[in-house]
A and B are shown apart, each in its own frame.
Chain A
Amino acid sequence: MVVSIGGEIDLATAPALAETLERATPAPGGTVHLDVAEVSFLDSTGISVLVEARNRLEDHGASLVLHRVAPTVQRVLEISGLGTVFELRPDAPV
């Protein structure tokens, strides 16, 4: 399944993201494709939401894939040491 988000993910918007991601519960073995092309800012709060979502999906045997990560976002992920935790794809989810 594909979820597209945009804007700035910070303390104010992270809860909405978390809620959205919680509703996206694919069948085991499925994948959630999160398109973050429109996300211009992401801080540690947003990262935490993403990390929590990934962990929950993993627990269900599913997986989270980030599509079209902007450089700023990618830098935050890398700084946080999460650059390898998430599967990043440059293309748009299908």
Chain B
Amino acid sequence: MAEPRTVDHTGVLVHRVGRLARTAAWSCACFAWLALAVGLAGHVAGMPTLTSFVPDMPGITVATAVVLALVGVALWYAASLARRGTAVSIVVATCAAALAAGALALDGSGTDLGLRQLLGDSPVSGSETMSPQGAIAVLLLCGALLVTRRWPLVAQAFAAGAALIAAAVVIAVAVGAGTFLGMPGVPQSSLPAALALGALALGTIALRTDVGVGRVIAASTRGGRLARRGLVFAVVMSLGLAAVLIVLRERFGLVSSDAATLLYALGSLAVALGLVLRLSFWIDRVDRARAVAIQELVASEARARELIEHAPEAIVVLDVDRGHFVRVNQEAEHLLGLPAHELMRRGPLDVSAPVQADGRPAEVELQEQMRRALAGEVPVFEWVLRTLKGRPIDVEVRLLRLPDRGRTLVRGSIVEVAERKRAEEALRAVASERAARAAAETDRDRIATLQRITARLLAAPSVDDVGAAFVQQVVPDLGASTGLIYTLSDGRLLRRGSTPDVRDPDWDSIELDAATTSATAARSREPVIVTSVGDAEQTFPMLAGAMPALGYVAFASFPLFSGDQLVGVASFGFHEAPPDDHWHFLGRVADRVGQALERARLFETERQTRRQLEQAAERAAAMQRVTQALARAVTVDEVVDLTATLGIEALGADASTAGLLDPDRDEFAVRTYGFPREQGPWHSRIGTDRALPGPATVRTQRPLWFSTAPDMVEAFPETHGFLEESGFRATACVPLVAWGRAVGFLAAHYAEDRVFTEVDRVVFTTLGSVSAQALERAQRFESERETASVLQQSMLPAQLPDLPNVSISARYSSAGELEVGGDWYDAIALDDGSVVVTVGDVVGRGLAAAAAMGQLRSAIHALALATTQPSDVLATLDRYATAVDGARLATVAIARLIPTTESLVYASAGHVPAVLVLPDGTTRLLEPSGSLPLDAMPDPERDELRVDFPTGSTLVLYSDGLIERRGESLDVGLQRLVRTAGALHRADVESMCEHIVAALLPRSEQRDDVAVLCVRLEASSAALRRRFPASPSELAPLREELRAWLANAGLSPQRAADLVLAVDEACANAVEHAYDGTPGGEVVVEVARRPDDEVVARVHDAGRWRNQEQNPTRGRGLGIIRAVVDECEIQTGATGTTVLLKQRIRRR
């Protein structure tokens, strides 16, 4: 609903002035710019006709034109300020309008824009001033525009004047009169300006009449647009027209000067019309705003009438001048018993008793009262009305003069006296009701207070918070100056909060039997209220003494309950006596405080329980970590260290001491953890009989708990120094008991006093037993490891075979102190001069593994002696392994090196590939296919590899521990081994072995036992070796060589010759029969002198042995051999035939 609006006439004027000023300024600027542009164009183009706009063009200076244009813009801007509607803007706008007019008339440099022609007398003049007529016309028009709203008649008159002057000019031009209205020589060129001025004036006049063009146009919203478009159209048209004219005339001479002038005039008229349209639209908008305002006013008047009409009292409005009522309301009609139109014809005396109650005539009395009312007073007086039927009515009248233009109106409010009395009674009733409401409001306040307090108390999660809420919220909200809150605990009242004025520690705790209000309230379970010193003197002397000193006028203690249970007491001191009903309210607040206390207590309990549970869960997790770590610990040291560090961490202790029983010496070996660095261990060993917590806990097999240092000193005075120096306060000590046997003790030290909770005790005791079991296990493990280590060492070959042309070196490296493994190596020299080497690895570690290893190694040793082929050894071993505990899945590598043929036979049962290093350093991995560990499946195929093993070659056998490294694949390790071994091909096997172990097995990296064995076929200088094709022609050179070699062998010539003969026979046999004519066969002859005074010759072929006993020739050969040497042995097999000949050297 719009408010009734008063029309601000000044505002409207300001608004309008601003708008007019803007329009004027805008027009000036436009004309100035136009003139400037056209004049300059004409000047430049040399078209003097353009001077119909600017006749004195040659005289105009650019500077002046610019100044003129700038002035126009400045005016425009200044005029825009008038929008603001202030007095200043009015002045500015008015000045702007005046300046605009002045600018138009400016003549200093001849830029009169046609006005001069209009207003002056000379068409071409350099220094003429504005003529009086012109100035008058312009000022008239400006005035008309300015006053257009306020004084429409004046505006119309002004505009008419301007129009007249314009018309005069037009007429003068039209009739060619030189002088008209005192205007001599009005030139034709002034016609456009005159027409424009006239149009503007007429437009203004038209606007002031309600049939104006602008009104019609602005009647629709489209009208506004039309007006704007009209303006634009007019401007464009006039400019276009002017341009066309100029071109036509100047270029083609088609248009006469007069026609051009006329057309220009028409253009100017169009501009003027456009301006009028625009202006009229603006003005119309203001009119519409005014219409709205008037409607509002009417509506507000109607509302006022309604108010009067339906007022509860009778109201009449009297037109004093006319002497009758001009308005009456329903109540008045009702009171006086006459309809409104009847009443409106009457005056006050017509409805009054002629003689009033005080006996005075009504007329006199009324005149007096009226005078007072008209003087501006509000007279109230008793009056007797008289209805048309003559019934008198006692009333009270109140008169008020109403403001009105032109009329003198007085309003009379008439209230029946009987009515008034009723109203007074009603008022009294209202007063009592108000009192009741005030009481209710107090209750409401209290409810709000109670709600506030309750909310605050609800937010208090702990008893301390309840105390704080009590002090900060409850006490001030209740208007108390002092407050204390106590909780009941162990038959005493403990202070949980109080206002700062009662910080006295005497009040921290109150015995229940004390003579205080708090104790009394707690005892009696009833509120204790003291409202005077006298009240207190008898029962509470202390309070009676304090009340005057502390300024209390009242003091009260309320018991706090949770349900029926007393939980505390709240006491309040008041500096101002509270209302009597306040105590009851205090009681209700106390209920809330009691509930809050109980809730907080429950909450705290719950929280504590939860914290304990969380703590227990944390401990459990920590214990689990400890247990897991302990499960991996294998040595006693590790177990003790882990328990003392991780376990103590789980207990939240600051330091710990571990003592390990050494039963042989009746002592504990003591270690400390987490002690300050500068403090060394107090004891490295303590006797089992010492009066110290550690030995004591072991003796009694019971944990000891000391929450404070004095506790511990009291029990064990000897610990005094320890505690002094270390600064530890609490200590817990548990025995380490495994399987009923104490193996040591563990003590946790705390830098602070500590109450050991049930959780602490359980966790600590558990830690002790877990640790003890791990210790026990570790101790057993250590002794087992020792046994296994001995066993293992005893099972490895004490000495490797010493052979003339085969060097063997082996290393066994145990994986630190931790455990014994099941790795082994062995080398077995066979009678045929070949050597069997083996490396194996039993799964697992420890005693069982060592035992299985021993059995397998013995078996291989025996088998190698009986069975020359490695694959056969493995095949038998497979069957044997099924019967050996712990042999399952053991891996074995077996190689038989046959020096005579410079070859090697290799077989593997799932073992890591052997590395063959040839004399030139090239390497090869020996990896037979289908190689499975022992006992992996029944009767597996055991293949073997047969490779050339030329003199200088080395075979490296090893167990997988050599190439295993943490975080690395076996391949990487294997490559490393191959590289290392290849590079060592020139080193002797001893150092080769040494270097391989050193290079591949950094001590820190070793996780497993490692066995390495290197075997090399040496180019022995002491031996004769001949390898030749199986051809008869080879025999003679061989004999020659052999004789030469044997010459220094120590044999007698005869025996040497015999040996040559025997070798020859053996070779001939091989040449003739071994290969059955197959080409490519070879025979190897090897002769060496053994340390035990014997020359041994081996003749080896890789062919088949034929029993030639029946062949007379060969049979003879064999006979010869047997006859000439001390020993002869023929070994046959898949690898060929070896004839071994031995000739002893006999001492002479």
Interface residues of A, Cβ cutoff 8 Å to B: 8, 10-12, 41, 43-45, 47-48, 51, 72, 76, 79-81
Contact = CB atoms under 8 A, between A and B. Distances in A.
Interface of B: 1032-1033, 1035-1036, 1039, 1057, 1061, 1064-1065, 1068, 1071-1072, 1112-1114, 1116-1117, 1119-1120, 1123-1124
A44 B1035 CA distance: 13
Contact of A48 (B1116, B1123, B1124): B1116
A8 B1039 contact: yes
A14 to B, nearest CB: 8
B1068 A10 contact: yes
B1087 to A, nearest CB: 17
Nearest to A72: B1057
8 contacts: A8-B1036, A10-B1035, A10-B1036, A11-B1071, A12-B1036, A44-B1114, A47-B1116, A48-B1116
B1035 A11 contact: yes
B1116 A80 contact: yes
B1039 A41 contact: yes
Contacts of B1112: 48, 51
B1032 A12 contact: yes
A53 to B, nearest CB: 13
A80 B1035 contact: no
Among A44, A48, A79: residue with most chain B CB under 10 A: A44
Given A41-B1039, A44-B1114, A76 B1032 contact: no
A43 B1064 CA distance: 8
Contacts of A10: 1032, 1035-1036, 1039, 1064, 1068
A8 B1064 CA distance: 12
B1130 to A, nearest CB: 16
Given A76-B1120, A79-B1124, A44 B1036 contact: no
A43 to B, nearest CB: 5
A72 B1055 CA distance: 11
B1032 A44 contact: no
Nearest to B1115: A44
Contacts of B1113: 44-45, 47-48
Contacts of A80: 1116, 1119-1120
A43 B1032 contact: no
Minimum-distance CB pairs A-B, first 5: A44-B1117, A12-B1032, A48-B1113, A11-B1032, A44-B1116
Contacts of A8: 1036, 1039
A79 B1120 contact: yes
A51 B1115 CA distance: 14
Contacts of A79: 1119-1120, 1123-1124
B1120 A43 contact: yes
Contacts of B1035: 10-12
A28 to B, nearest CB: 26
Nearest to A80: B1116
A37 to B, nearest CB: 18
A10 B1113 CA distance: 12
A43 B1065 contact: yes
A51 B1064 CA distance: 19
Contacts of B1033: 12
A51 B1112 CA distance: 10
Given A11-B1072, A76-B1120, A79-B1119, 4 more contacts: A11-B1068, A43-B1120, A45-B1068, A81-B1119
A79 B1114 CA distance: 14
Among B1057, B1114, B1116: residue with most chain A CB under 10 A: B1116
A79 to B, nearest CB: 5
A72 B1053 CA distance: 11
Nearest to B1061: A43
A10 B1032 CA distance: 8
A4 B1120 CA distance: 25
B1065 to A, nearest CB: 6
Contacts of B1064: 10, 41, 43
B1057 to A, nearest CB: 6
A32 B1061 CA distance: 27
Given A11-B1072, A12-B1032, A79-B1120, A44 B1039 contact: no
Contacts of A45: 1068, 1113, 1117
A6 to B, nearest CB: 13
Contacts of A81: 1119
Contacts of A51: 1112
A81 B1114 CA distance: 14
B448 to A, nearest CB: 136
Contacts of B1065: 43-44
Contact of A44 (B1057, B1068, B1071): B1068
Contacts of B1120: 43-44, 76, 79-80
Contacts of A41: 1039, 1061, 1064
B1040 to A, nearest CB: 9
Nearest to A82: B1116
A49 to B, nearest CB: 9
Contacts of A72: 1057
B1085 to A, nearest CB: 14
Among A41, A43, A48, A51: residue with most chain B CB under 10 A: A43
Contacts of A48: 1112-1113, 1116
A64 to B, nearest CB: 17
Nearest to B1034: A12
Contacts of B1072: 11
Nearest to B1043: A41
Nearest to B1053: A72
Contacts of A47: 1113, 1116
A12 B1033 CA distance: 5
B1061 A76 contact: yes
A8 B1033 CA distance: 12
Contacts of B1039: 8, 10, 41
A79 B1124 CA distance: 8
Contacts of A11: 1032, 1035, 1068, 1071-1072
A81 B1116 CA distance: 9
Nearest to B1033: A12
A55 B751 CA distance: 118
Contacts of A76: 1061, 1120
Nearest to B1113: A48
B208 to A, nearest CB: 161
Contacts of B1117: 43-45
A43 B1119 CA distance: 11
A89 B1120 CA distance: 23
A48 B1108 CA distance: 14
Nearest to B1121: A44
A16 B866 CA distance: 45
Among B1065, B1113, B1123: residue with most chain A CB under 10 A: B1113
A55 B366 CA distance: 202
A12 B1113 CA distance: 15
A72 B1124 CA distance: 12
Contacts of B1036: 8, 10, 12
A5 to B, nearest CB: 15
A59 to B, nearest CB: 16
Nearest to B1112: A48
A42 to B, nearest CB: 9
